A = this chain, B = another copy of it.
Amino acid sequence: MKAVVYKGPFNVAVEEVPDPRIEHPSDVVVRVTSTAICGSDLHMYEGRTAAEPGIVFGHENLGIVEEVGSAVVSVAQGDRVVMPFNVACGFCKNCIAGYTGFCLTVNPGFAGGAYGYVAMGPYRGGQAEYLRVPFADFNCTKLPPGDEHETDFVLLADIFPTGYHGCHLADVSPGETVAVYGGGPVGLMAAYSALLRGASRVFVVDRVPERLDKARGIGATPIDFEQRNPVEQIHDQLGGEGPDKGIDAVGYQAQSHESGREEPAIVLNSLIQTVRATGALGVPGLYVPADPGASDEAARQGQLLVAVGKMFEKGLRMGTGQTNVKRYILQLRDLIIAGRAAPGFVVSHELPLEQAPEAYEKFDKRVEGYTKVVLHPGS
């Protein structure tokens, strides 16, 4: 079959690879109809991880079940399914507690697995014609048949739940005010989720006009951090007070407007300044324990200068970590089906699988409006 294969920094190719097959009685094989490129794929693409050439990318996958292992009971051939990006067993201590992003079974020696991602276990990615799904009863989420909402549904694999996870970590509640740093796909999904959860006002901090426009379009207040200090802008809008909650949808590759360079803790520290005392921070944005490309030794080891004193003085709480997609996916799916959520507005491009190399290149450069790309194998 054809698949998007990593060849080396800034280089992917669509190549023939062996078809996946049932390896364990709990597996299914899915024919992929939609698979999105994630911002986190770019970490590998840019060569800033330990990913070796040969890996097949893709952890945001949706398709039709083609083949079913003998132990599978709830999924049948022909079912339309979306797969959380986390590969999880469903029965370990963490999965039972709902922490399916930290499964202890699927990636021995580590808490958590994923498709097509370096160090996340032996699971090939879904930017391909077919995908093997282990523990299929647990890892497949059924969708209505047909192709309705395809673009919305594929976002259930990762970024819609990930934005929602930010709100969950910050416990965003009805009537609250929320500051979201980062207006990329995850930031927009966080703002969108905050509004779904009943927030009274949501601010989205970014500098890219298209992102700020999209934020405005969903009912959030855009804050352009190139205009003025975003903390001040938000406090001004709230009569001098900080918002109740804050979400970091940027992570460690944050850039400072002043210096024009990466300052990996700038968003965290801005949030600590922004949010009011007694508030909470949700951090779905990625921070890594080892970043060989960082500019100083501490950051290379994942240590950042954080305003812990101010955080304590304000009595802030902070939640971090990758999303436990399974915890939210049914509810978010049902919002889409009911017509109450349509996250697909963040998708800028839908392309055949074959155009993956071009899509990676443009998405990585953020050119021509490439903000979120969905690939359609076999289209």
Contacts and interface: CB of A to CB of B under 8 A. Distances in A.
Nearest to A278: B99
Interface of A is mostly: loop
A173 interface: yes
Identify the 5 closest CB pairs spanning chains A and B, nearest first: A315-B321, A302-B309, A175-B331, A71-B71, A111-B277
Interface string A316-345: 111111100011101111110110100000
A357 to B, nearest CB: 30
A320 B330 contact: no
A102 interface: yes
B200 A338 contact: yes
B305 A288 contact: no
Interface of A: 24-26, 69-71, 73-74, 89-94, 96-99, 101-102, 105, 111-112, 137-138, 164, 169, 173-177, 193, 196-198, 200-201, 252, 265, 268-269, 276-278, 283, 286-291, 298, 301-322, 326-328, 330-335, 337-338, 340
A176 B331 contact: yes
Given A174-B197, A303-B309, A318 B318 contact: yes
Nearest to A280: B319
A111 B314 contact: yes
Given A111-B277, A315-B320, 19 more contacts: A25-B26, A26-B71, A71-B71, A94-B278, A96-B326, A98-B98, A99-B315, A102-B315, A174-B196, A176-B331, A197-B197, A201-B334, A287-B311, A289-B310, A289-B312, A306-B306, A312-B322, A314-B321, A317-B318
